């Protein structure tokens, strides 16, 4: 089963948007930074951490877009060889022709 391209591109868009949001949080002012530290959780992280995580999200989103268009990060490391070998096709038809009368 293949994953549809529109699904991977949609998830990649969400990942990139979240990465841009994290990078935007890295450039907040000092007043916003002190206010965010009081809120705890995601907002309490330092600016450099937000920038680093935002960069990782942008790289992951870019990798999702690239794999949607055919890039394979592992190359031919895994799986069987996919180059076709000599195919032997039978000289006659292998599926019999339907000899039933036509419907009325």
In a domain, 17, yes or no: yes
Please give the pLDDT value at position 56. 97
In a domain, 28, yes or no: yes
Which residue segment(s) compose the domain that 46 sits in?
Answer: 5-68
* pLDDT, tens only, 2-20: 788 999 999 999 999 999 9
Average pLDDT, the chain: 83
In a domain, 99, yes or no: no
d(CA 36, CA 44): 6
In a domain, 83, yes or no: no
Q: How many separate domains does the chain show?
A: 1
In a domain, 88, yes or no: no
In a domain, 55, yes or no: yes
Please give the torsion angle defined by the CA atoms of residues 33, 37, 39 and 44, in that order, rounded to the nearest 10 degrees: 100
In a domain, 100, yes or no: no
* pLDDT, tens only, 42-81: 888 888 999 999 999 999 999 999 988 888 888 777 766 6
The model's pTM is 0.67
In a domain, 40, yes or no: yes
DSSP 98: P
d(CA 22, CA 47): 9
d(CA 63, CA 19): 13
């Amino acid at each position: 089963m293949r994953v549809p391209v529109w699904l991977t591109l949609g998830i990649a868009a969400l990942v990139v948007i979240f990465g841009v949001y994290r990078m935007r949080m890295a450039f907040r002012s000092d007043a916003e930074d002190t206010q965010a530290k009081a809120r705890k959780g995601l907002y309490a992280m330092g600016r450099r951490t937000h920038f680093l995580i935002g960069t990782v999200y942008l790289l992951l989103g870019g990798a999702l877009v690239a794999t949607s268009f055919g890039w394979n990060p592992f190359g031919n490391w895994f799986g069987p060889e996919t180059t076709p070998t000599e195919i032997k096709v039978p000289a006659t038809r292998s599926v019999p022709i339907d000899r039933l009368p036509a419907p009325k």
